[in-house]
Structure 1
Amino acid sequence: MESDLRFAILIDADNISDRYIKIILDETANNGVATYKRIYGDWTSPQLASWKQVLLENSIIPMQQYSYTTGKNSTDSAMIIDAMDIMYSGTVDGYCIVSSDSDFTRLAARLRESGMQVIGMGESKTPKPFISACNQFKYLDLLYSNQQEEEKEEAAERHTETEEKTLDNLHARHKNEGLKEKDLKRIRHTINAIINKFSDEDGWLFSGKLGDQLSKRLPDFDVRNYGFSKLTPFVKSLGDYEIGKMSNGSGQKQIYIRLKSKK
């Protein structure tokens, strides 16, 4: 049995809210086990007061970093130095770097060069270079918004909408969540390229292969950002693809996807 990947969670307290802590820990747990949990900031600052109880409840170690010079972010430097020290210790397989700051772009790239798995987490404002430098990137504000919506529905004892109904309301939800049409265009273009490269002679591609390739080509792609829990309903919502079930060599039914033929 393979052991879980070991991750170091490094959080930039200067630009990440404590309200995201459950999402940060849950997303890391989906990929492995957190062996380091550290958060960096000037803890003498009243702006970080809301973090203190959160740190105690989740066993996160606060790393004190004074602001030596106005306008300079010493927190970033401390995180980068610690990340490299941890890498050379040989005690982790990957990192969860939590920040919306592009200053961590080179760090993410350097860690990946050394064979580390790098998961970035930040808000939608995160610059593209940092996102692209990570193996995966999670938008905390979108995941938090979805989480809050689900909690409100549970509190009101309303029935959860089916994914088929969600399809009808997709564009409205995109607008409400601040997702832009150009993102969908980018995703369609990527899906088309993957299908063209990996599909069989009839144009069909195994959905698992599609999901694997999407995560490699678009680090920030996550169907939950669009109100879905699984890849297939999301792809179906785009309207450009056929969904089919076929038997594999073992006789099991698997989901396949291909471009709709243009009539």
Structure 2
Amino acid sequence: MRAAAHAAVDEAVAILRAGRDRPLDRIGKAAKDFLTEVDLASEAALKASLAKATPDIGFYGEEGGGADLTKGRVWVADPLDGTINYATGSPLCGVMLGLLQDGEPVLGIIDLPFLGTRVDSGAVQDVDGFDEAIVGMGDAFHQGGGERLDAYLRLTMEVHRRALRFRCVGSAAVLWTWLASGNIQGLLLAHNNPYDVVAGHAIARASGAVVTDYAGAPLTLASKGTLAAAPSIHSDLTALAGDLAART
């Protein structure tokens, strides 16, 4: 299965590279969000490659949906994570492919083609305290509005104030990769969309990270938000996220 997953990601990455230097049509998805023909072509390539290599495993993609995520084995794909980055020329984007077994992440691959990085495992880097940690956070617009958004923005300020450094790069693929590679010590996403989380969850957990919801409970498909960190700062990050957890 791992070989089939890597081969499928290879095909998707080739599509991202080929589409890099040509004008792209922007297809509206929601407020402040869009997809492109590259997203669609990448997802189609992933789905076709995996259907051929692993016909007994279901498929769920960001753009087309698919199989029931809670039953059996299902591939979960984000064919182009960081679409806005990609469409505006930033290298901070990638392909994410994860495998669920009865709703539990068991395998993940993330490729950042314009950073020359692919991970399916790693090793998180502990630090001596939160003031020595680098923490990444996902884009706030995923929170919608109201009290939840306000709590997320307040948390962003607290993390920025207390951590060694704060990162917001517009791509969950990049944050998961950096966590597993020891470049950051924690991350917090504004949601728990499976295509943004399953691959990273499997990789981060295998790399020694603690992966939970905002309140520190085990992360599941039903969770309302995603938090992952090196063991040394996980409790600090969940403590800071307490207000957000209460309003989510």
Larger radius of gyration: 1
Give the number of the structure whose residues are more often strand, by fraction.
2
Q: Do both proteins adopt the same fold according to a TM-score greater than 0.5, normalized to the shorter chain? A: no
Question: Given the two structures, how large is their TM-score scaled by the length of structure 2?
Answer: 0.32
Q: Which has the higher contact order (CA 8 A, sep 6+)?
A: 2
Query: Where is the helix percentage greater, Structure 1 or Structure 2?
Result: 1
